[in-house]
Structure 1
Amino acid sequence: MTDQASSSDTRVVAPGRPGVFDIVVALFCGLLLISNVAATKPIQFGGEVQFGGVQILPVITDGGAFLFPLTYILGDVLAEVYGLKKARRAIVLGFVLTAVMSLCFLVVGAAPPAASWPNQEAWSTVLGFVWRISLASLLGYLAGQLLNAWVLVRVKRLTQGRALWVRLIGSTVVGEFADTLIFCTVAFAGVLTTAELLNYTVTGFGYKVLIEILLLPVTYRVIKAVRRREGLPDPADRPA
Structure 2
Amino acid sequence: MTDAAPVAVDREVRYASRGSTHFDVLLALFAVVLVVSNIAATKGIEFGAGNLSLGPVQILPIVTDGGAFLFPLAYILGDVISEVYGFRAARRAIFTGFAMALLAAATFFVVQHAPAASWYENQESFEAVAGPVGRIVLASLVGYLAGQFLNSYVLVRMKAKTAEPHLFARLATSTGVGELADTFIFCAIAATAIGIDSMATFWNFFLVGVIYKTAVEFLVMPLTMTVIAWLKRREPSYWDDETVA
TM-score range normalised by the length of the shorter chain: 0.7 to 0.9
Structure 2 gap ranges (5+): 1-11, 240-245
Q: Which of 15, 22, 46 is equivalent to 1:20? A: 22
State the AA in 2 paired with 1:137: S
| Larger relative contact order (CA 8 Å, sep ≥ 6) | 2
Aligned-pair distance for 1:9?
Answer: 5.4
Partner of 1:230: 235
Query: Given the alignment, which residue of 89, 109, 113 partners 2:112?
Result: 109
Query: Structure 1 126/51 Cα, relative in aligned 2: closer, same or farther at 3 Å?
Result: closer
Q: Pick from 182, 187, 212: which aligns with 1:207? A: 212
Structure-to-structure mapping, 1:43-58, within 5 angstroms: 43-50=45-52, 53=55, 54-58=57-61
Q: Secondary structure at the match of 1:184?
A: helix
Unaligned 5+ runs, structure 1: 234-240
Alignment of 1:1-240 (within 5 A): 5-6=12-13, 8=15, 10=17, 19-50=21-52, 53=55, 54-189=57-192, 191-192=195-196, 193-231=198-236, 232-233=238-239
- Residues 66 and 10 from structure 1, CA distance in 2 versus in 1: closer, same or farther, beyond 3 angstroms? closer
- The one-letter code matched in structure 2 to 1:171 is S
RMSD of aligned Cα (Å): 1.8
Percent identity for Structure 1 against Structure 2: 49
- SS, match of residue 99 in structure 1: helix
Secondary structure class of the residue paired with 2:13: helix
DSSP 3-state at the match of 2:45: strand
**Helix, strand or coil at the partner of 2:50:** strand
- Does 168-177 or 46-55 show the bigger shift? 46-55
Distance 2:180 2:223 in 1: 22
Question: Which whole-Å CA distance do the structure 1 matches of 2:17 and 2:218 have between them?
Answer: 31
TM-score normalized by the length of structure 2: 0.86
Runs of 4+ in 1 over 6 A off after TM superposition: none
CA contact (8 A) 1:48 1:55 kept: no
Normalised by the size of structure 1, how large is the TM-score?
0.88
Structure 1 residues 141, 51: CA separation in 2 closer, same or farther (over 3 Å shift)? Answer: closer
